[in-house]
Amino acid sequence: MEDNTVKPGLFEKGGKLGWLHSSWDAFDTFLRVPATVTAKGAHIRDAVDIKRVMIIVVLALVPAALFGMWNVGYQHNLAAGDLPGFWNQFFWGLLKVIPLYLV
């Protein structure tokens, strides 16, 4: 006899990886616009969603990050007593700042 029960999906509650449901949902909504939308209530409806706002935040972060990378290298070399060129300072700061951004 055939079993006609509906089995939960891999990341749904009760599924094999159900304990990762919230992580999977966060990653999925980062990549795609979620299917759930507000139907009624006191919400502003416009084309700006969280993903678009976060892209603006990342773009605004780039100049500050680039300056911070140069400044870390500059401060290191200033404390060491030598001041090499711009690109050497930037590269030193890049090596120290990128791990912080990744974490």
- The domain ranges of the chain are 54-102
pLDDT at 5: 55
10-residue stretch averages of pLDDT, the chain, 103 residues long: 59 81 81 70 70 89 94 92 89 92 86
pLDDT at 93: 93
Sign (positive or negative) of CA dihedral 82, 88, 90, 96: negative
pLDDT at 43: 63
pLDDT at 65: 93
pLDDT at 37: 65
CA nearest neighbour of 51 among 70, 72, 28, 77: 28
Strand, coil or helix: 48: coil
Q: Which two tokens stand for residue 61?
A: 């972060």
Encoded amino acid at 22, one letter: S
pLDDT at 69: 94
